[in-house]
Amino acid sequence: MTLVALRGVGKTFSNGTEALRGVDLALGAGEFVSLLGPSGCGKSTALRLIAGLAEPSAGRVEWARRERLGFVFQEPTLMPWRTVLGNVRLPLQVAGIGKSEAAARAEAALAQVGLAGFEASYPRQLSGGMKMRVAIARALVTGPNLLLLDEPFAALDEITRLRLNEDLLGLWASSGLTVAFVTHSVYESVFLSTRILVMAPRPGRIVADIALPEAGPRDEAYRTSAPYNEACRTVSAALKAAMS
């Protein structure tokens, strides 16, 4: 079942930059779809269009029904004056949910991302990886069925990134979420996704739609397995073709 689809979507900014042209994509329920491409190929713009943070200049965004969205930005984007719990509670507060219920749900979301015990900390006291976990908890707290992530781990070190990759996969597998994930890393996209949309710049467009076969559990061993290497090679070739 298709959750949301972009139909012939184009986006031109007021300064004349054409970020997207003729983009067709559909996100099916339960999929983990990566948008992969170099900087400037419009992958973040596509995600913002899905989220409703920007309006398409051409084409349309179609929803099967109203879905609850969670969005994770490139930066953790936390309020420095709020505690970890206060940050995660914010979307519930805005929705007018009572304080005690909001706190309970925020605590549950923090536990989900492995941050139980840090409720009273302030963002500046946390490491980059932990801040990103708070941002993910905040995106999960409203119980979304579609989670949009815009290069969330790009600024993190390799070790933290691999760890967060695995935890994100765990969340996805256990929750039945649909995930759209923007990245410029071939390896990250292959490790995480069920499907990869390869994008090319100037103007931004989708040039390849690669479904990854189910390859058993995705864990540390998967990173060195033959199917993983094979998929990396396919995706890299598609990306290279897109760039030339």
Tell me if residue 208 falls in helix, strand or coil. strand
91 binds another protein (CB under 8 A): yes
Report d(CA 25, CA 77) in Å as an integer. 28
Element (H, E) at 60: strand 58-63
Say how many C-beta atoms besides its own lie within 10 A of residue 91's C-beta: 19
Identify the residue among 73, 114, 166, 215 touching another protein (CB under 8 A): 73
Using the minimum distance from each CB to another protein, give the nearer residue, 142 or 194.
Answer: 142
Residue pair 60/7 in contact by the 8 Å Cβ criterion:
yes
Using the minimum distance from each CB to another protein, give the nearer residue, 124 or 158.
Answer: 124
Q: Which pair of tokens denotes residue 188?
A: 């990250």
Identify the residue among 75, 167, 209, 230 touching another protein (CB under 8 A): 75
Closest distance of CB 175 from another protein, Å: 19
79 binds another protein (CB under 8 A): yes
Q: Which pair of tokens denotes residue 88?
A: 């995660």
17 binds another protein (CB under 8 A): no
166 binds another protein (CB under 8 A): no
61 binds another protein (CB under 8 A): no
53 binds another protein (CB under 8 A): yes
Element (H, E) at 201: none
How many CA atoms lie within 13 Å of 143's alpha carbon, on the beta-carbon side?
Answer: 5
Task: Give the residues lining the site for another protein (CB under 8 A).
Answer: 51-53, 69, 71, 73, 75, 77, 79-81, 90-91, 93-95, 122-124, 138, 142
